[in-house]
Homo-oligomer: A and B are copies of this chain.
Amino acid sequence: MRRFAVERVRRLFLRTVRTHASSAAVSSPSSSHSSSLFSPASAAAMSTASSTVVTVDSINPRVLKCEYAVRGEIVTIAQRLQEDLKANPGSHPFDEILYCNIGNPQSLGQVPLTFFREVLALCDHPFLLDKDETGHLFSADAISRAWKILDSIPGRATGAYSHSQGIKGLRESIAVGIALRDGYPCNADDIFLTDGASPAVHMMMQLLIGSEKDGILCPIPQYPLYSASIALHGGSLVPYYLDEATGWGLEIAELKKQLEDARSKGITVRALVVINPGNPTGQVLTEENQREIVEFCKRESLVLLADEVYQENVYVEDKKFNSFKKIARSIGYGDKDITLVSFQSVSKGYYGECGKRGGYMEITGFSADVREQIYKMASVNLCSNISGQILASLVMNPPKPEDESYDTFHAERHGILSSLARRAKMLEDAFNSLEGVSCNKAEGAMYLFPCLQLSKKAIEAAKAINAAPDAFYARRLLNATGIVFVPGSGFGQVPGTWHVRCTILPQEDKIPGVISRLKAFHEAFTQEFRD
């Protein structure tokens, strides 16, 4: 009976594989115009006709409107090239695709921190804690931390749904970490643990946006999560431009101008998004600038949505990360003065644990009845994943100098951050050495956002294939070198200017190769399209 079942699944699998193979040869006319835009995975499913119960014309129009460049067209082309390279080695002038499109450090070889992974493994399989061998395999403080975490979970049940905001003991430990960082108290009840920062951002957008009359002030350029989430929730993105000439400066006069403009159009602006350190722009705000922003939000009755996921990623001596809560408290603003949400994630920093989907938001200045609504929204998804919750507590409370793990931890952390700083500088210098390219300093975060002066001829060539000029540049770069940059048009930019976003994440020994491929491509491109 069992043998039969195994044989049966083998046959089914072969049928599945054959279905795929034949579908690859069939081009579905209905999909040809748009299949290039997103998932290559979907192509395989097109071999048979589909039901027409759901059509693009009948779905939620807000979904259609939403765009998400960092996983958009350029990535789909890259994935196809990768498959092609695998099937036909030597078929392209490069032998690997280098994904510089997304802040995903471990996908490019960054190694996770030992202490974090030790604790996660012990919490996943607490059986290990009672074994003699464990003392040889794990550091003493990882073992004691795992015990402490397990003891903070009712019934030590790491497989149970937690409180909708996350496990209380983990939130308390995060609150201690925040208090130590800021020098101001933090309340564990203000923490909502989430599956990365993205669901927290969606939750705030869902709370604040009731219709297209509700506006959210967002930087341009911005991380496309914001434009996507605002589009999905049916609100209005109110743009404010960062000033490239002053190192992506955030000017209060610009905020004020855009706010008034939006108000004159009948839009109620509900919140201001600030990304600090900046994504895709890499700037780190000064304390003075942050104070002005806090005062502006108070004056204009705006919720301050502070994307602080790059708080550990600062690479310059003269700048330092300050949370907006610290700034607000330092000028004497309490809960009654300012409504503030701070987003943090385990995906960035030196940890880069994107796949673990851990993060939190700290909310302050909300009334009790609005907090209940936020709690209810969190409850509808039950809770975030417990491993991510544990990791968020570790990230906010890493090993201390007296702990056995500390030396290893410190070396790993320092190794990653100092290498990121060197990589940022090397790439920045490289961009600035290219003809017609200028690039601001990457003070923080994981990106550079160089400005490209494209010739009329290049712009015409892009127009001829119905592409944005920077998308045209990025596509040509990809086809020539295997390097994936995201066109600036995916982030927003001053009309008539063109950029690309490039992560600083390729491993350090690969950076010289990236730079020489980039230089060679850029010179050829410039020659080809010189006016």
Q: Are B373 and A64 in contact (CB under 8 A)?
A: yes
- The stretch that binds B, out of A27-35, A458-466, A489-497, A510-518, is A27-35
Find A368's partner among B30, B229, B355, B382 (CB 8 Å cutoff): B30
Pair B127/A42 contact, Cβ less than 8 Å:
no
Copies, count: 2
A432 within 8 A of B: no
Q: How far is the CA of A338 from the CA of B176 in the complex (A)?
A: 53
Would A161 and B385 count as touching, CB distance under 8 A? no
Q: With A117-B127, A160-B106, A382-B196 as known contacts, state yes or no: A369 contacts B5, CB within 8 Å.
A: no
In the complex the two chains form, is A208's CB within 8 Å of B54's CB?
Answer: yes
A387 at the interface (CB under 8 A from B): yes
Query: What is the minimal beta-carbon distance from A338 to any residue of chain B, in angstroms?
Result: 6
Q: Is the CB of B207 within 8 A of A161?
A: no
- Asked whether A158 is an interface residue with its Cβ less than 8 Å from the other chain, the reply is yes
A107 within 8 A of B: yes
A 365-392 to B, binary, CB cutoff 8 A, 1 in contact else 0: 1111111110111011111111110000
Do A155 and B30 have beta carbons less than 8 Å apart? no
In the complex formed, the residue of B with least CB distance to A210 is B60
Q: Which residues of B contact A12 (CB under 8 A)?
A: 176, 179-180, 183-186
Which interface residue of A20, A59, A105, A270 has the most chain B CB atoms within 10 A?
A59
Interchain CB contact under 8 A, A16 and B179: yes
CB pairs A–B below 8 angstroms (24 shown): A19-B185, A28-B368, A34-B368, A39-B164, A41-B375, A48-B334, A48-B336, A51-B337, A52-B367, A56-B367, A60-B214, A60-B233, A66-B377, A71-B382, A104-B161, A106-B158, A106-B160, A120-B124, A120-B125, A121-B128, A195-B385, A229-B380, A232-B377, A385-B388
Query: Which residues of A does B touch, CB under 8 Å?
Result: 2, 5-6, 8-9, 12-13, 15-16, 19-20, 28, 30-31, 34-35, 37-39, 41-46, 48-56, 58-64, 66-68, 71, 102, 104-109, 112, 114, 117-118, 120-122, 124-125, 127-128, 131, 133-134, 136-137, 154-155, 157-165, 168, 175-176, 179-180, 183-187, 189-190, 195-196, 198-199, 202, 206-210, 214, 225, 228-229, 232-233, 270, 301-303, 334-339, 347, 352-357, 364-373, 375-377, 379-388, 400-401
10 closest A-B pairs (Cβ-Cβ)? A31-B368, A121-B125, A39-B375, A107-B160, A357-B385, A355-B386, A133-B133, A12-B179, A71-B379, A106-B157
